[in-house]
């Protein structure tokens, strides 16, 4: 049995950018807001944090800043996944040295390895760090899915704490929990699937929505954990429209657009991600107004 790195809500936090670097002043404000709202953990430099377009110095500096700013008040999970195993080791070891509580490692992309290679990749990194790893299964973005057999093998490794499941496959989720039990903790990687996944045994949510609704996301996750499914359903349906609006285009385009609309200057997304289509932007604006998030 492995104790989960966190239970409840974790924000996959955006990285606010200036024209040419990270806006650390704004980043610090965002971290403080998350702590005050009851968020249990932050994923720094994940997909939502645009790690794929950060330079190595930026990435390292962003993780280090978040750890120092948090100062033990909230768990910091550093995104360190790569399609280059040696690079993943280097980034993971640097995050560990900086004091990260855990690592989030996406499946290798583009290389299109076999399941055997996938297991070897994760185990190779896990053998070289001393902090827990959360796997990240998001085949819609990487083209590489983790199979049940691979999950069963990876669950044996003491440093692999669990997985962020963003495959949308509830059948696979049931199989992981049934076959691996608490040797492979599971977190929902989709806001709109938080309720059904937690009802099936997921330990919480790694959320995009919680960038703008952190207290509400924490309340939803905590209701699931406490078994108050009526409250969880109420919150799920209350925020469902907003959850879906934040994925009308590739994440993190909508969430950063929403935050900028709300007066929280997080800067633009970096190319090749670009500004929203005008029709989608108008829909997002109206949705934010419906939720009282825009005047």
**Both ends of the chain: CA-CA distance in Å?**
48
The single residue of 2, 69, 136, 203 carrying the catalytic annotation is 136
> What span, in angstroms and rounded, lies between the C-alpha atoms of 19 and 118?
37
Known active-site residue 136: yes
> What span, in angstroms and rounded, lies between the C-alpha atoms of 189 and 103?
15
The single residue of 2, 69, 164, 256 carrying the catalytic annotation is 164
Active site residues: 136, 164
């Amino acid at each position: 049995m492995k104790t989960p790195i966190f239970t409840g809500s974790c924000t996959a936090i955006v990285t606010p950018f200036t024209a040419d670097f990270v806006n650390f002043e704004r980043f610090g404000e965002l971290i403080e807001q998350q702590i005050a709202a009851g968020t249990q953990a932050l994923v720094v430099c994940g997909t939502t944090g645009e790690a794929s377009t950060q330079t190595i110095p930026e990435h390292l500096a962003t993780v280090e800043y978040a750890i120092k700013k948090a100062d033990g008040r909230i768990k910091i999970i550093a995104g360190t996944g790569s399609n280059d195993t040696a690079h993943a080791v280097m980034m993971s070891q640097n995050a560990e040295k900086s004091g990260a509580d855990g690592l989030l490692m996406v499946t290798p992309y583009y290389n299109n390895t076999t399941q055997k290679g996938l297991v070897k990749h994760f185990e190779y990194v896990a053998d070289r760090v001393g902090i827990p790893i959360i796997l990240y299964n998001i085949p819609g973005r990487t083209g590489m899915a983790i199979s049940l057999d691979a999950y069963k093998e990876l669950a044996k490794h003491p440093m692999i704490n669990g997985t962020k499941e963003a495959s949308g496959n509830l059948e696979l989720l049931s199989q992981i929990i049934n076959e691996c039990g608490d040797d492979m903790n599971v977190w929902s990687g989709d806001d709109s699937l938080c309720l059904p996944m937690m009802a099936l045994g997921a330990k919480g949510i790694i959320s995009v929505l919680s960038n703008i609704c952190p207290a509400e996301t924490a309340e939803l996750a905590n209701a699931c954990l406490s078994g108050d499914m009526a409250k969880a359903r109420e919150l799920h349906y209350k925020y469902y429209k907003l959850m879906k609006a934040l994925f009308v285009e590739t994440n993190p385009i909508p969430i950063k657009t929403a935050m900028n609309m709300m007066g929280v200057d997080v800067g633009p997304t970096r190319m090749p991600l670009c500004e929203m289509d005008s029709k989608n932007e108008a829909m997002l604006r109206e949705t934010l107004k419906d939720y009282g998030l825009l005047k």
